[in-house]
Structure 1
Amino acid sequence: MIGLIRALFGFLRLLGPERSSDLGGWLLRTVSPLIPVNRVALANIRATFPEKDEAEVKRIARGAWDNLGRTAAEYAHLKTLFDYDYLNPDAASRVEVSGIEHFIALKDDEKPGLIFSSHLANWELPAICAAAYDLDTTAVFRAPNDPAIAGIVHEIRSGAMGGLAAAKQGAAFAMQGVLEKGGHLGMLIDQHFTRGVVVPFMGRPALTNPILGKFARRFECPVHGVRVIRLPNQRFRLELTPQLDLPRDAGGEIDVKGAMAMMTAVVEGWVREHPEQWLWMHRRWRPNMISAAALAEYDHTIARTPLFKAT
């Protein structure tokens, strides 16, 4: 199995990043109607966009599969995919960066920092960007379920990124250690988390990992969002938001649930802008796992959380 995967990645490297991306996108876009989890994607899109007709729902789903196929194929080129030179921003490259001043500020402020992101376009690029700018960042990731694939993906990530921390039992202690040393954490926050807090996402309650809100409260450090947009002709744009002005409780400390609601609201805006580039195949909403008490608190969260503000 490992040999077969390595041979596939070797073939993709021979094709180059552009043709690999096109091949991966075409393959998953073509076979997606036959993949059982496509029903999850279609159901999620219909529930989120009830105003859209079935043709548009299927178009968004096909686009999401196309993006996933491209992202998978691009793993073979992660070391070379990010080619933006911030010292020469007018040079031709497949990547452009917006908000570079925030990256530089994070590097120079001598404080820990938190960066959240989502499964949009090629979501691996922000961690590669941070490494390229020598920003001391540890990316928190969830390993693929298949051990063979997980091993190869970890090998590729290790060669292209800075620090890596697997999202598993005890990971919070390692993440805390990074921040205590003045480092930065990057984390995707748009997946279901069974022990999470309930926040609004795309008009419905969703369980979300509260760890970044807890760290923001404890360390009083800058929190930024970063997204990737897939552009025509196999190009990308990275956008780093200004620092978020997170909601606080009566005692003046950062409100954890309110903070996660605000971060999630930022992600929602991204997804609504480019729905065909998000990972709709994930079972993000699981109402049967949310208690009545949590739903009541959810209504309270909506009422007390301000709109996204940045300083």
Structure 2
Amino acid sequence: MAKKHTVIHLLEYLGLKAALAVFGVMGLDRASAAGGRLARFVGPKTGVSNRARANIRRVMPDLSPEEIERIIADMWENLGRTVGEYAHLERFTRPEERHRIEVVHAGALRSIAASGNGGVFISGHFSNWELLPLVMRLEGLEGGDVYRRANNPFVNEWMVSLRESITGGAIQIPKGGVGARLIVRLMRENKFVAMLADQKMNDGVEARLFGLRAMTTGAPAGLAVRYNVPIVPACIERLKGAHFRITVYNPITARPGADPFEDVMRITQEINDFLEARIRERPHEWFWMHNRWS
């Protein structure tokens, strides 16, 4: 069985590399557009889209069926563009391509970094979420970014290598015990950790998202309380094609003298409130296929 899985994983990886090779030949803008068109045509017809439809109906019941279908189609186009852009992520690091990424309130981000205390840089699966740790590099924030291991070991190794290259060697932090130790080290060194905080975490804390129970990671809040570092929320928006705006919002901080458990719960809820507000603003750019509320 293990050998069969290895063969399947290898074939999946080779298929991914072949697709990326095709996108690589196209150039960034054409690859982004082609990936978007293909995904918009195929994606809404797949069974996994039914989970996205159910999620949207559950949390935004006032939307009409036509509005939901537009969100689904636009979501798939964004995902397809993101896949096409994977073949060109390194281009976003070049000085001549800086016009592709606008960072709003970058000065505030640099001021937090200049304080020397480090922090936690959070967002969700918005637009092309791979750009979050890249922004850390562009704005001079040292540290690492948390990732979930891919089920396919070949894909996982490739993804880690890719992220290391585009972030200038930022530490890649797998979720789990090893990753937790790396995060503690970075916090003690007054550096930054980037993470996406919008996925279900069965062993997390119970918070609300769109008014519904949602098990949520308590890690960002726990770091803020334990190390007295700010949580810096950010949102990634796709503007036109392969151009993006990353907006940095006011930091979320621990309250001096507060009960640690209560403060972790408060901060976690504030993070979910931030994510919900951003999803409502641009629902078509969020990854609705997460099994978020079950």
Q: TM-score, normalised by structure 2?
A: 0.89
TM-aligned CA distance change 1:104 to 1:54, over 3 Å: same
C-alpha distance in 2 between matches for 1:94 and 1:269: 25
1:93 aligns with 2:99: yes
TM-aligned CA distance change 1:46 to 1:81, over 3 Å: same
Q: Are the counterparts in 2 of residues 131 and 137 from structure 1 also a CA contact under 8 Å?
A: no
C-alpha distance in 1 between matches for 2:205 and 2:191: 25
TM-aligned CA distance change 1:251 to 1:192, over 3 Å: closer
The residue number in structure 2 matching 1:133 is 139
C-alpha distance in 2 between matches for 1:247 and 1:59: 42
C-alpha distance in 1 between matches for 2:132 and 2:253: 22
In structure 1, the residue corresponding to 2:132 is in which secondary structure?
A: helix
C-alpha distance in 2 between matches for 1:170 and 1:233: 37
Provide Cα deviations, 1:148-191, integer angstroms capped at 9, x if missing partner: 22222222111101221011343212111110111111110000
Letter of the aligned partner of 2:53 in structure 1?
L
1:42 aligns with 2:42: no
C-alpha distance in 1 between matches for 2:119 and 2:153: 31
C-alpha distance in 1 between matches for 2:119 and 2:98: 31
C-alpha distance in 2 between matches for 1:241 and 1:202: 20
Aligned mate of 1:267, from 250, 275, 280: 275
Aligned-pair identity in percent equals 27
Letter of the aligned partner of 1:29 in structure 2?
R
The residue number in structure 2 matching 1:70 is 81
Following superposition, the deviation at residue 130 of structure 1 comes to 0.8
Aligned mate of 2:92, from 78, 81, 89: 81
Following superposition, the deviation at residue 236 of structure 1 comes to 0.6
The residue number in structure 1 matching 2:18 is 7
Aligned mate of 2:127, from 91, 103, 121: 121
Deviates more, 1:173-182 or 1:147-156: 147-156
The number of residue pairs the alignment matches comes to 281
Deviates more, 1:124-133 or 1:164-173: 164-173
Where does structure 2 lack aligned partners over 5 or more consecutive residues? Answer: 1-10
1:152 aligns with 2:158: yes
C-alpha distance in 1 between matches for 2:28 and 2:22: 11
TM-aligned CA distance change 1:138 to 1:197, over 3 Å: same
The residue number in structure 1 matching 2:208 is 200
Where does structure 1 lack aligned partners over 5 or more consecutive residues? Answer: 86-90, 287-311
TM-aligned CA distance change 1:106 to 1:92, over 3 Å: closer
TM-aligned CA distance change 1:251 to 1:4, over 3 Å: closer
1:229 aligns with 2:237: yes
C-alpha distance in 2 between matches for 1:121 and 1:82: 18
The residue number in structure 2 matching 1:299 is none
The residue number in structure 2 matching 1:297 is none
The residue number in structure 1 matching 2:192 is 184
In structure 1, the residue corresponding to 2:88 is in which secondary structure?
A: helix
C-alpha distance in 1 between matches for 2:157 and 2:261: 40
Q: Are the counterparts in 1 of residues 143 and 192 from structure 2 also a CA contact under 8 Å?
A: yes
Q: CA RMSD in A?
A: 2.0
Following superposition, the deviation at residue 75 of structure 1 comes to 1.0
The residue number in structure 2 matching 1:173 is 181
Following superposition, the deviation at residue 33 of structure 1 comes to 2.9
In structure 1, the residue corresponding to 2:87 is in which secondary structure?
A: helix
C-alpha distance in 2 between matches for 1:96 and 1:6: 29
Q: TM-score, normalised by structure 1?
A: 0.85
C-alpha distance in 2 between matches for 1:164 and 1:71: 20
The residue number in structure 1 matching 2:67 is 56
C-alpha distance in 1 between matches for 2:179 and 2:260: 28
Provide Cα deviations, 1:171-221, integer angstroms capped at 9, x if missing partner: 212111110111111110000000111111112110001011111110111
In structure 2, the residue corresponding to 1:255 is in which secondary structure?
A: helix
C-alpha distance in 2 between matches for 1:119 and 1:84: 26
Letter of the aligned partner of 2:293 in structure 1?
W
Q: Are the counterparts in 2 of residues 191 and 208 from structure 1 also a CA contact under 8 Å?
A: yes
TM-aligned CA distance change 1:251 to 1:40, over 3 Å: closer
C-alpha distance in 2 between matches for 1:110 and 1:5: 40
Following superposition, the deviation at residue 139 of structure 1 comes to 0.6
